[in-house]
Chains A and B, each alone.
Chain A
Amino acid sequence: MSDPVRAAALARTIARLTPDYPVKIVHVCGTHEATITEHGLRRFLPEPVEVLEGPGCPVCVTPTRDIDAAVKIARKGAILCTFGDMTRVPGTEMTLAAARADGADVRVVLSAAEAASIARNTNREVVFFGVGFETTTPMTAAILLDDPPENLSVIVSHKLIPPAMAALLDLPDNRISAYLAPGHVSVIIGEEPYTPFPRDYGIPVVIGGFEPLDILYAIALILRQLKDGTPRVENGYPRAVRPEGNRRAQELIEQVFEPTDVVWRGIGSIPNSGLRLRDEFRQFDARARFGVTGEEGEETVPGCRCPDVLTARAVPTDCPLFRTTCTPLNPVGPCMVGVEAACNIWYRYGGRPKL
């Protein structure tokens, strides 16, 4: 999937289809950014074409209030389980890693199922801090449907990608020409949720895979739609994505969760962009169980341009703190923490992604 001959052919197609006006393609997926940057793909894009990451990093968009809730619950004596990067995201007072250093029992797990199995083997309260988009949500739902132990509860911080894509388009200065839609989210949700973007905003949406050639191919499809003036949802990753998505996974989500308005760090509240437990599952709500309310935390750090980076209105190098005071070892904003975040990825590959 990284055949240089086919890549060169796609590069020629891209060059041929490139218009003479600026084209801003936005993707919402850390894996896309990692592939583009790691393989140096921006080299194949002619000047007017740029590709930016939007809110593609679940760690980065987790609001401060959710981190704060997790810290509070961990400090009340629960075993707090979450994905590794989450422990390093700054909250109002501290990170989960700092809470752990202070004696709280914070554990890094690879899946929701691992948290459930920890709960089955202890009498203590175990809390799973569930973050992620449509790809990880079914797994959280699955453990709650599979006779969960009573000492298990969940801080639900799962989010939905299509409402965030709509929110970006509603920003007056978005300049977005097209969306490169995320392959693995699309495996779950299929094509239908993207239909409003071509219909209501006239924006092409092409679902793309994660190999270098997949991405170049998807970009070529986008440019062809722009040239032909026929914006629509197009599947550039048919070997993995079915038009209807994964119905079983959709049902899991549907059974356990219902949509609700949530805050995205750096972006603000987006209608129906998050999930909360349905009434039948309320007993697994960790916030209720531990009496932790979601008071508002400070969502931005002074000087940090994460809000612009997360909305694809800036690239990491536009931020004066990038690589100076903000580094992965000493992150100022959440976009430097998550390995799927633009600032972190650009840092690791030298901060000048078009060579």
Chain B
Amino acid sequence: MSEMDKITAMHGAGGAMMDRLLREHILTEFSARSAGRIGLDALDDGATIELPTEGELVVTTDSHVVKPIFFPGGDIGRLAAAGTLNDLAVMGARPLALTLGLILEEGFPLADLTRIISSIAGVLDEIGVPLIAGDTKVMGKGELDRIAINTTGIGVAAHAVSDSAISPGDVVIVTGTIGDHGMALLACREEFHLETKLESDVAPIWPLVERALAAGGIKAMKDPTRGGLAAVLNEMAGKANVTIEVDEAEIPIRNPVRGIGSLLGISPLTVANEGKAVIVTAPDRADAVLRALRAHPLGKDAAIIGKVTDEYPGKVILGTEVGGRRFLEMPLGDPVPRIC
């Protein structure tokens, strides 16, 4: 690899080098580049979005770092785009536009950047969302671990869905298998030498969520990313001061996820998902929502996993597979593999 193929400080200096990087390696990757009168091509100080005629604007932002940056089933680019769009989706918001902030370490291979940018573009194409603004900075060698990506998403919701408007009697649904992303990442870490075909589930879920919303009766949604299903259920139960009781046997988990989890001593319920949502519905709409979800490829494994009660306010109870019962706690931190 020649020096020409790497990111240099000049790429972040705002001059001709940066202009070329943007025009040749970034802008052209995105097929949709405008959500209003002034779009990305203008390279102006900002972009405009045509105001929707009704509903609420929803905005969310997220910064992404991940190790490794390329992993089975995706990369940091796909993660950065899908992650933010999914935050909009679980607010019940149709995405209008995305912005992209790149921070690159000096020496970062241009080929890797191209791969990452094309992954981001791929996600946006999948659900027809334009990239409307961006920023690129370069940091010195060693000042950053290769790449960090910030994305901001803007969406519109007829009526934004919170993550806590739930009450006893409501039904808890997951839109698919749990633990895929986190376990795939753990499995591909070199120190474990695990051979597996397991892939991250990273995907934009708006098309799926849109169907569920159409079925009606949705009270709360949340995407179980960091901390996994366990963290999300605890947040929901805590905020609404209710009990969520889920049935372990009903939670869809792929066999390799289970296998790697037991090998490393890490519960699939505590690791990240990047293409799933937890949906709480009114009891009389649960079946309709489930049917709507299962009709979409991303939701084919959707399942009712439990219900909202009031037995221990703020707590999550897990009915274990063998028939026992225990609390499902908020995970302590990033899961650490068992050592002895």
Q: Is B324 an interface residue (CB 8 A)?
A: yes
**CB of B329 to closest CB in A, whole Å:** 5
Answer whether residue B276 sits at the interface, using C-beta atoms and an 8 A cutoff.
Answer: no
Q: Does A15 contact B (CB under 8 A)?
A: no
A355 touches B323 (CB 8 A): no
Whether the Cβ atoms of B325 and A329 lie closer than 8 Å is no
Q: Which of A146-154, A189-197, A271-279, A344-352 contacts B (4 or more CB under 8 A)?
A: A344-352
Q: A110-B339, A132-B340 are in contact. Are A38 and B332 (CB under 8 A)?
A: no
B319 to chain A: closest residue by CB: A40
Choose among B324, B333, B340 the residue that contacts A43 (Cβ–Cβ < 8 A): B324
Chain B residue at minimal CB-CB distance from A42: B324
B325 touches A40 (CB 8 A): yes
A212 at the B interface (CB under 8 A): yes
Contact of B322 among A7, A329, A352 (CB under 8 A): A7
A108, B339: Cβ atoms closer than 8 Å: yes
B318 at interface by CB-CB < 8 Å: yes
Q: Does any Cβ of B come within 8 Å of A255's Cβ?
A: no
- Chain B 265-286 residues near chain A, CB threshold 8 A: 265
Please tell me if B197 contacts chain A, counting CB pairs below 8 Å. no
Inter-chain CA distance A84–B191, complex, in Å, is 15
Interface flags, B43-58, vs A, CB<8A=1, else 0:
0000000000000000
Interface check B249, CB cutoff 8 A:
yes
> Which of chain A's residues has its CB closest to B328's CB?
A350
Residues of A within 8 Å of B317, CB to CB, are: 355
B318, chain A: closest CB distance, angstroms = 7
Q: Does B321 contact A (CB under 8 A)?
A: yes
Residue among B249, B324, B339 making CB contact with A85, cutoff 8 Å: B339
Check A39/B326 contact, CB under 8 A, given A2-B320, A328-B332. Answer: yes
A8 and B323 in contact (CB under 8 A), knowing A83-B339, A84-B340, A85-B339? Answer: yes
Whether A41 sits at the interface, judged by CB under 8 Å, is: yes
Known: A40-B318, A348-B329. A7 touches B340 (CB 8 A): no
B322 pairs with A213, CB closer than 8 A: yes
CA separation between A16 and B325, bound complex, in Å? 21
Contacting residues, chain A, for B338 (C-beta < 8 A): 339
Q: Is B339 within 8 A of A355, CB to CB?
A: no
Which residue of chain A lies nearest to B311 when distances are taken between CB atoms in the complex? A355
Residues of B within 8 A of A41 (CB): 322, 324
Q: How far is the CA of A212 from the CA of B340 in the complex (A)?
A: 21
Check: B315 CB closer than 8 A to any chain A CB: yes
Taken residue by residue from 3 to 23, chain A's Cβ proximity to chain B (1 for < 8 Å, 0 otherwise) reads as 110011001000000000000
Which residues from B are CB-within-8-Å of A38?
320, 326
Interface centre among B317, B320, B338, B340 (most CB of A within 10 A): B340
User: What separation, in Å, do the CA atoms of A44 and B322 have in the docked complex?
Assistant: 10
Across the two chains, which residue of chain A brings its CB closest to B324? A40
Q: Report the contact-size class of chain B (Cβ under 8 Å from the partner).
A: 20 to 34
A300 within 8 A of B: no
A350 to chain B, nearest CB (A): 3
Contacts of B327 in A (CB 8 A): 349-352, 355
Q: Which residues of A contact B318 (CB under 8 A)?
A: 40
Chain B residue with the shortest CB-CB distance to A328: B332
Residues of B within 8 A of A328 (CB): 332
Shortest A117–chain B CB gap in Å is 14
Of B317, B319, B320, B322, which is in contact with the most chain A CB atoms at under 10 Å from its CB?
B322
Distance in Å from the Cβ of B186 to the closest Cβ of chain A?
A: 15
| A157 beta carbon closer than 8 Å to chain B | no
Instruction: Identify which of A7, A110, A348 contacts B323 (C-beta below 8 A).
Output: A7
Inter-chain contacts of B315 with A (CB < 8 A): 350
With a CB–CB cut-off of 8 A, which chain B residues contact A42?
324
Q: Assess A110 versus B322: contact at CB under 8 Å? Given A328-B332, A350-B329, A355-B327.
A: no
Q: Which residues does chain B contribute within 8 Å of A339, judged by CB atoms?
A: 265, 338
Is there contact, CB below 8 Å, between A4 and B339? Answer: no
Is A43 within 8 A of B321, CB to CB? no
Give bound CA distance, A42 to B320, whole Å: 12
Contact with B along A33-69 (1 / 0, CB 8 A): 0000111111110000000000000000000000000
Instruction: List chain B residues, Cβ under 8 A from A108.
Output: 339
Most buried by B among A8, A136, A355: A355
Does A353 have its Cβ within 8 Å of any Cβ on chain B?
yes
Q: Is the CB of A350 within 8 A of B323?
A: no
- Closest chain A residue to B337, Cβ basis: A84
Per-residue contact bits, chain B 306-317, to A (CB 8 Å; 1 contact, 0 not): 000000000101
Known contacts A108-B339, A350-B327; 20 further A-B pairs (Cβ under 8 A): A4-B321, A4-B322, A7-B323, A7-B324, A38-B326, A39-B320, A39-B324, A40-B319, A43-B323, A44-B324, A83-B340, A84-B340, A85-B339, A132-B340, A329-B332, A339-B265, A339-B338, A348-B329, A349-B327, A350-B328
> Chain B residues in contact with chain A, CB under 8 A?
249, 265, 315, 317-329, 332-333, 336, 338-340
- Can you list 21 residue pairs at the A/B interface with Cβ under 8 Å? A4-B321, A4-B323, A7-B322, A11-B323, A37-B326, A39-B324, A39-B326, A40-B318, A40-B325, A84-B336, A110-B339, A132-B340, A212-B320, A329-B332, A329-B333, A339-B338, A348-B329, A349-B326, A349-B327, A350-B328, A355-B317
Query: Which positions in A face B, CB cutoff 8 Å?
Result: 2-4, 7-8, 11, 37-44, 83-85, 108, 110, 132, 136, 212-213, 328-329, 339, 348-353, 355
List the 6 shortest-distance A-B pairs measured between CB atoms, nearest first: A350-B327, A40-B324, A40-B326, A84-B339, A2-B322, A355-B325
